Amino acid sequence: MNAKNRIYAMIAFMLVGSAAFYFFGFRLLIQNVETESNKYIELKKNSILLNEKSKALKTLEDAYTGIKDQFPRIDGTMLKPSQEDILGFLVSIEGLEQKTGVHVTTTIRDLVVDPRIKWSVFPLDVVVNGSYTSVYKFLTYFQSVPQSIYIEKIELTRGQSRQSVGADGTAVVNEGAVDMIIASKILSSVSAPTQK
């Protein structure tokens, strides 16, 4: 190979080498740009998601701030765990008997305690017998007691005539009587029993 051909071969080799270097270098550069671009897109998505979560957290914080002053009022509507409070509540319910001229029987079923929450539930059954008007009046009073009561079910059936004491203390015979059974739950601040 003469000198001229060697020079051409070297130039051709350098051109092929340079082209290969630029081709692979450019390709590597494009891959790096794509990788960094994908990372940027992922970071942007995460930033938007964090921003949305931050807004949701702010909304929850504002909602909590708006109702936190009501917690003592809500706690005040719960039946306290002392026997005096429970008996006082039952006496007040049965006191509606005098006020409305009906016959009332109350039964508290087993206390339901959920250790995951602060409150417990007293299942309370109330059986009321009286005239339709008196029973309706009792229900109105029952729904307005200060304790938190959830009425699950009300059954109204034709009842038996029964003698009761009216608001003025006189005997009243309930003709055309109805029986109303109220299955309810009363929210209580009774805590779960501790194991010893």
Chain segment 82-137, per-residue pLDDT in tens: 667 777 777 888 788 888 888 888 887 766 666 666 667 778 888 888 888 888 88
Residue 63 in this model has a pLDDT that exceeds 50: yes
Determine how many CB atoms are found less than 10 A away from the CB of residue 80: 16
> Are residues 48 and 143 located together in one domain of the fold?
no
The number of domains in the chain is: 2
Please, are residues 74 and 83 in contact by the beta-carbon 8 Å criterion? no
Determine how many CB atoms are found less than 10 A away from the CB of residue 29: 11
**134: containing domain:** 77-188
> Are residues 50 and 108 located together in one domain of the fold?
no
> Are residues 15 and 61 located together in one domain of the fold?
yes
Examine residue 144 and state whether it is found in any structural domain, yes or no. yes
Predicted local confidence at residue 142, as pLDDT: 84
> Are residues 99 and 167 located together in one domain of the fold?
yes
Examine residue 105 and state whether it is found in any structural domain, yes or no. yes
Of 27, 51, 68, which one is at a domain's C-terminal end?
68
- Beta bridge partners, 133, equal none
The CATH code of the domain that includes 129 is 3.30.70.60
Chain segment 158-172, per-residue pLDDT in tens: 876 556 566 666 666
